[in-house]
């Protein structure tokens, strides 16, 4: 594949060569792996969700977008909206980079409503002649007609002493009459952290210092922090870089997870919390962002991808998609539960299902097939050693989700899922799980799967790149018997 030069990567969309975009669109159109119900870029690369918000009766969700290729180049905010969290409308460019304070990209950020406008705070990425980064925190606003204007100056124009130029991804919230933001940062000793700012008007920001968490050192950079309160607890979600794999934990090259504790003390920056936990146990999940719905629900969306990982669609002119929206609750004071938002039931079409007991066999039910569907599979184990599902399966391909009752582990294996993936990320994920009944709730799309275990106690999110003809759904059980109840809705 042609690697772009720096000059090519940092081009604006207007600087595309004649025919370049048409050629990309053409490539995208021929890709067998375009998603059917996930948010994906029209061309080029999608990464982080940005500006997730509810404004004037609709959800707005932007994403990091490099239109001209699948490398990380000049980033835009692409704008989508939805009235129901299930069907999204693509609205085109939300924020375009290229100004003096975002000359090399309108990087990640968040949105908040104030005085009838939606304000978007984001990181303006700039590089000088020596290619040194200078991050600015910038502001843009959208009115009720959807017109977006950028403020002509940054609202935070320098990095405070003690931190490197890896200083980005502001997430804004309001508490009392003031606004606060948390920013992902790297200390000059090359450890990651999050810092806090306060403002009365979103324009003038005062540096409050670091969020004083119990995690130090914990990786070399924290990206995309998101702080919110839920059920009287404080939650910080962030994407630390530089954690070492530890058994079944931290197997992806970068992690996204959370800590839960007492609400952040806004006068001291003190945040007392429990242990860090990964949000997802699959392969492709990063830079999660949440918002609050009009009914008070906390809803999360993430990038179904990872930085520095190649994807098979790179040669098809596009890469990346967002996860489905998931609603969050806290279990037992220290664990986040993620459930697909119930609105996704609007996508359901034809329904089929069965109840059956299997004994040492692999069973493909007649017509139980698909490439884009929602599936609920409930299993009571009796005495089997291994049981589970093979899906997107054919003679030569299958993605396997199983429970090993001896090891008490859920295992997702994409070794034979289809087109080989970047070696760097591996092909098997395991997660300890103690249960004698299982509920596997899957959202399968053309090139992805999101699996909610026992109503969101664990989630496995993965891209897979099967042949379009690999459609079978098979149930299996070995070393004994198990009862399966399955129900599928095509999407
Ligand atoms: C995370 C990230 C952010 C940055 C953005 C640039 O994936 O690196 O830290 O703002 O992507 O696209």
Out of 64, 71, 225, give the residue to mutate to test ligand 1, the one with the largest number of ligand atoms within 8 Å of its CB: 64
Q: What is the DSSP string of 185-231?
A: EEETTS-EEEEEEEESSSSSEEEEEE-B-S--S--SEEEEEEEEEET
Task: With a cut of 80, say whether residue 188 has pLDDT above it.
Answer: yes
How, if at all, do strands 458-463 and 335-340 pair? unpaired
Residue that the structure tokens 């992805």 belong to: 448
Return the pLDDT at 27. 98
Q: Which long-range contacts (CB under 8 A, 24 or more apart) does 351-354 make?
A: 351/487, 351/488, 351/489, 352/487, 352/488, 353/485, 353/486, 353/487, 353/488, 354/484, 354/485, 354/486
Write the CA distances from 400 to 251, 396, 433, 486, integer angstroms.
18, 13, 17, 16
Ligand 1 geometric centre to CA of 106 (Å) = 10
Q: From CA 341, how far away is CA 297, in angstroms rounded?
A: 10
- Helix (H), strand (E) at residue 487: strand 472-490
Q: Taking CB atoms and a 6 Å cutoff, what residues make up the pocket around ligand 1?
A: 47-48, 64, 75, 107-108, 123, 168-169, 223-224, 286-287, 307
Nearest CA to ligand 1 atom 6: 107
Tell which atom from ligand 1 comes closest to the C-alpha of 184.
Answer: 9
Return the pLDDT at 424. 82
CATH number of 348-490: 2.60.120.560
Q: From CA 389, how far away is CA 412, in angstroms rounded?
A: 10
Return the pLDDT at 425. 82
Q: From CA 462, how far away is CA 305, in angstroms rounded?
A: 8
Q: Residue 69, SS3?
A: coil
Structure tokens at 224: 């995309």
Ligand 1 geometric centre to CA of 72 (Å) = 9
- Helix (H), strand (E) at residue 7: helix 6-9
pLDDT per position as a tens digit, 354-390:
999 999 999 999 989 999 999 999 999 889 999 999 9
**How many Cβ atoms are within 10 Å of 199's Cβ, its own excluded?**
18
Q: From CA 237, how far away is CA 3, in angstroms rounded?
A: 33
pLDDT per position as a tens digit, 283-338:
999 999 999 999 999 999 999 999 999 999 999 999 999 999 999 999 999 999 99
* Residue 475 Cα to chain centre, angstroms: 29
Ligand 1 geometric centre to CA of 107 (Å) = 6
Domain assignments of the chain as residue spans, ordered by start = 6-29+38-343, 348-490
Q: What are phi and psi of 481, to 5 degrees?
A: -120, 160
Fold category of 6-29+38-343 in CATH:
Tachylectin-2; Chain A (2.115.10)
* Four-point Cα dihedral 194, 267, 328, 411, nearest 10: 40
Q: What are phi and psi of 464, to 5 degrees?
A: -140, 150
Return the pLDDT at 165. 98
Q: What is the DSSP letter of 181?
A: E
Write the CA distances from 54 to 222, 289, 298, 421, 459, integer angstroms.
26, 13, 11, 36, 25
Catalytic residue annotation? 48
Alpha helices for 363-450 (secondary structure H): none
Ligand 1 geometric centre to CA of 78 (Å) = 14
pLDDT per position as a tens digit, 108-147:
999 999 999 999 999 999 999 999 999 999 999 999 999 9
């Amino acid at each position: 594949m042609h690697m772009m030069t720096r000059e090519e990567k940092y081009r604006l969309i207007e600087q595309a060569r004649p025919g370049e975009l048409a050629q990309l669109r053409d490539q995208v159109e021929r890709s067998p792996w375009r998603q059917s119900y996930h948010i994906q870029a029209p061309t080029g690369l999608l990464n982080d969700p940005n500006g997730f918000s509810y404004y004037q009766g609709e959800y707005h969700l932007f994403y990091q977008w490099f239109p001209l290729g699948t490398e990380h180049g000049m980033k835009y905010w692409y704008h989508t909206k939805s009235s129901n969290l299930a069907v999204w409308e693509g609205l085109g460019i939300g924020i375009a980079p290229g100004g003096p304070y975002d000359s090399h990209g309108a990087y990640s950020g968040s949105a908040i409503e104030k005085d009838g406008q939606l304000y978007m705070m984001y990181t303006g990425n700039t590089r000088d002649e020596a290619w040194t980064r200078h991050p600015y925190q910038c502001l843009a606003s959208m009115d009720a007609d959807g017109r977006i204007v950028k403020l002509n100056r940054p609202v935070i124009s320098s990095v405070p002493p003690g931190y490197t130029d890896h200083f980005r991804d502001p997430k804004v919230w309001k508490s009392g009459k003031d606004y606060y933001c948390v920013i992902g940062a790297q200390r000059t000793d090359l450890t990651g952290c999050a810092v806090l700012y306060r403002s009365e008007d979103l324009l003038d920001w005062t540096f409050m210092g670091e969020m004083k968490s119990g995690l130090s050192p914990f990786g070399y950079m924290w990206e995309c922090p998101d702080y919110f309160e839920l059920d009287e607890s404080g939650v910080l979600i962030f994407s630390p870089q530089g954690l070492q794999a530890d058994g079944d934990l931290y197997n992806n090259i970068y992690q996204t997870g959370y800590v839960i504790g007492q609400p952040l003390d806004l006068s001291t920056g003190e945040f007392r919390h429990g242990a860090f936990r990964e949000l997802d146990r699959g392969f492709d999940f990063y830079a999660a962002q949440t918002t609050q719905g009009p009914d008070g629900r906390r809803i999360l969306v993430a990038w179904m991808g990872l930085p520095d990982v190649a994807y098979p669609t790179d040669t098809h002119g596009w890469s990346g998609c967002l996860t489905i929206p998931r609603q969050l609750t806290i279990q037992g004071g220290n664990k986040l539960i993620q459930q697909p938002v119930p609105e996704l039931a609007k996508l359901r079409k034809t329904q089929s299902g069965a109840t059956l007991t299997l004994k040492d066999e692999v069973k493909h039910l007649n017509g139980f097939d698909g490439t884009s569907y929602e599936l609920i599979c409930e299993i009571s184990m009796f005495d089997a050693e291994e049981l589970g599902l093979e899906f997107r399966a054919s003679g030569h391909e299958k993605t396997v989700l199983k429970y090993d009752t001896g090891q008490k582990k859920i295992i997702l294996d994409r070794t034979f899922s289809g087109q080989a993936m970047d070696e760097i990320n591996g092909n098997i994920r395991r997660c300890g799980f103690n249960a004698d009944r299982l509920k596997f709730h899957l959202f399968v799309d053309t090139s992805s799967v999101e699996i909610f275990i026992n109503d969101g106690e664990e989630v496995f999110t993965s891209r897979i790149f099967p042949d379009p003809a690999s459609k079978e759904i098979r149930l299996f059980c070995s070393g004994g018997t198990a009862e399966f109840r399955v129900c599928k809705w095509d999407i």
